[in-house]
């Protein structure tokens, strides 16, 4: 019954109840939405991991994901973490775990687990006995192959510093693709100086400028076309790797006569996948032409990597081995893992972070001086212990340099040696 002022009490009592129901339903809808997005986030992260590590370069889609920037894949997780906090959703913990998974397994933020394992068991190294340099030198004298000279090879001598005590087995190595010394090689050289190296290896380094020649005037040097190596100690060219697939020189191998014994260094520059990836366009994808071109280029790069690996193994001669250079592929690449996966990666074993080295120049929509891939590497066999590794900070080249510090392991002397 209406009241004296004409209002209906029943309707007046129902209005607040309806409004409260609507207000309560909004958080529930938001909560359900966040849960659905969380499920999609988990599925997407798993799919990305599968494409990068299981499919990799065996399929064109895996190749695309392998070489795309990885950091943007962290954005969905960050947004969902914020949404989970605002909605007070328990999916916050699922999103946190998934975001950490993407950070480590997809974006490849490196945590040096191997270094922790070595630090946890120092007694194994302390219990080993020292081999004399005579054993190392004897291996080298019997195993080194004769160098091959050609018109485009330059070998220059330098002043050999006094030999340090045999217990000093530390080695500092720097590698960088200097992009024909552009845009500012002075910045690169300053970073090289800061690293205080014993050995420097450069790629795309044909026609060295006077600045480089003057700085390393007293060093021993070997140059074969675009590959250049300089050392404080005597060098001997062991060979060149010219594959039957590409016109460029894929690598050289040199023997270094260090105070603690001889070892081998390989300076590599492998073919890039960029040329075939940038040709992926919608029309060509629809016809299948782009996929076929990319598959063919991947097969050629895989064959090149195998030939380079055979070259490296051939010239190692059971000596301590270091492999450096511009590999043009990340460690997640199936091509890298098949050819070089059994080496110790200096960055993976000792450094924190992403370690991106290229590209530094502007690439379409990506900002300049912001590398997104770690495609330059320093690798070793088990003769070396990696103490540290770091990536350069300045953009004097399209690639940032990579530097590492090693120590020759002390191996136990075998019976009968």
Q: Which of 39-53, 146-160, 275-289, 353-367 has the lowest mean pLDDT?
A: 146-160
Who's near 144: CB < 8 A, 6+ residues apart? 236, 238, 255, 262, 317
Is pLDDT of 163 > 80?
no
Across the range 158-166, mean pLDDT stands at 45
Task: Give which of 68, 178, 183 is closest to 400, Cα–Cα.
Answer: 178
Q: CA-based angle 129:130:133, to the nearest 5?
A: 160
At 116, is the pLDDT very low, low, confident or very high (cuts 50, 70, 90)? Answer: low
Model confidence at 27, pLDDT cuts 50, 70, 90, reads confident
Taking only the tens place, the pLDDT of each residue in 79-99 is 999 999 998 888 999 999 999
- Element of type H or E holding 263: strand 261-269
pTM, entire model: 0.82
How far is Cα 140 from Cα 264, in angstroms, rounded to an integer?
9
- Give the phi and the psi of residue 38 in degrees, each rounded to 5: -65, -45
Angle of the 289-316 helix axis to the 60-67 helix axis, nearest 10: 70
pLDDT digits (tens, 9 = 90+) for 170-182: 999 999 999 999 9
* pLDDT at 399 > cutoff 90: yes
Structural contact between residues 59 and 52, judged by C-beta atoms closer than 8 angstroms: no
Question: What is the percent of the chain where pLDDT is above 90?
Answer: 63
SS3 label, residue 268: strand
Q: Which of 172, 174, 170, 211 is nearest to 191 (CA)?
A: 174
Q: Which of 148-152, 197-201, 359-363 has the highest mean pLDDT?
A: 197-201
Contacts 24+ apart (CB under 8 A), 276-280: 277/63, 277/64, 277/67, 280/60, 280/64
Tell me, what's the pLDDT at 286?
Answer: 73
pLDDT at 412 over 70: no
**CA distances to 33, 81, 94, 220 from 37, in Å:** 6, 11, 11, 60
The answer to whether 246 touches 289, Cβ cutoff 8 Å, is: no
Question: Per-residue pLDDT averaged across 140-166, rounded?
Answer: 45
d(CA 355, CA 332): 14
pLDDT digit string, tens, across residues 237-290: 999 999 888 888 999 999 999 999 999 999 999 999 988 887 777 777 777 778
């Amino acid at each position: 019954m209406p009241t004296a002022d004409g209002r209906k009490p029943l309707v007046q009592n129902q209005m607040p109840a309806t409004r409260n129901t609507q207000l309560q339903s909004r958080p529930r809808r938001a909560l359900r939405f966040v849960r659905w997005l969380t499920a999609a986030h988990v599925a997407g992260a798993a799919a990305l991991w599968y494409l990068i590590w299981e499919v990799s370069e065996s399929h064109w889609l895996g190749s695309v994901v392998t070489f795309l920037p990885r950091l943007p894949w962290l954005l969905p997780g960050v947004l969902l973490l914020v949404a989970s906090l605002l909605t007070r959703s328990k999916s916050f913990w699922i999103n946190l775990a998934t975001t950490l998974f993407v950070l480590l397994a997809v974006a490849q933020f490196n945590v040096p687990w191997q270094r922790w394992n070595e630090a946890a068991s120092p007694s194994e190294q302390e219990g080993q006995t020292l081999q004399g340099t005579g054993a190392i030198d004897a291996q080298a004298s019997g195993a080194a192959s004769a160098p091959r000279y050609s018109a485009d090879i330059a070998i220059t001598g330098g002043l050999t510093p006094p030999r340090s005590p045999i217990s000093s087995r530390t080695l500092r190595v720097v590698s960088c693709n200097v992009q024909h010394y552009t845009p500012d090689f002075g910045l690169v050289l300053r970073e090289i100086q800061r690293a205080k190296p014993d050995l420097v290896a450069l790629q795309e380094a044909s026609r060295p400028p006077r600045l480089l020649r003057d700085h390393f005037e007293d060093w021993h040097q070997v140059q074969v076309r675009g590959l250049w190596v300089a050392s404080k100690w005597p060098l001997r060219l062991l060979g060149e790797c010219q594959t039957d697939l590409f016109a460029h020189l894929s690598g050289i191998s040199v023997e270094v006569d260090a105070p603690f014994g001889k070892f081998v260094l390989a300076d590599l520059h492998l073919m890039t996948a960029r040329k075939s990836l940038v040709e992926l366009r919608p029309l060509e994808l629809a016809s299948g032409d782009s996929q076929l071109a990319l598959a063919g280029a991947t097969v050629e790069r895989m064959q090149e990597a195998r030939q380079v690996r055979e070259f490296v193994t051939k010239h190692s001669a059971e000596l301590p081995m270091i492999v450096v250079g511009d590999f043009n592929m990340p460690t997640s690449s199936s091509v890298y893992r098949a050819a070089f996966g059994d080496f110790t990666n200096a960055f993976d074993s000792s450094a924190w972070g992403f370690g991106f080295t290229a590209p530094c120049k502007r690439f379409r929509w990506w900002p300049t001086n912001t590398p997104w891939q770690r495609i330059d590497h320093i690798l070793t066999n088990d003769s070396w212990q990696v103490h540290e590794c770091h990536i350069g900070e300045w953009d004097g080249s399209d690639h940032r340099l990579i530097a590492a510090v090693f120590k020759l392991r002390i191996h136990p002397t075998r019976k009968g040696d």
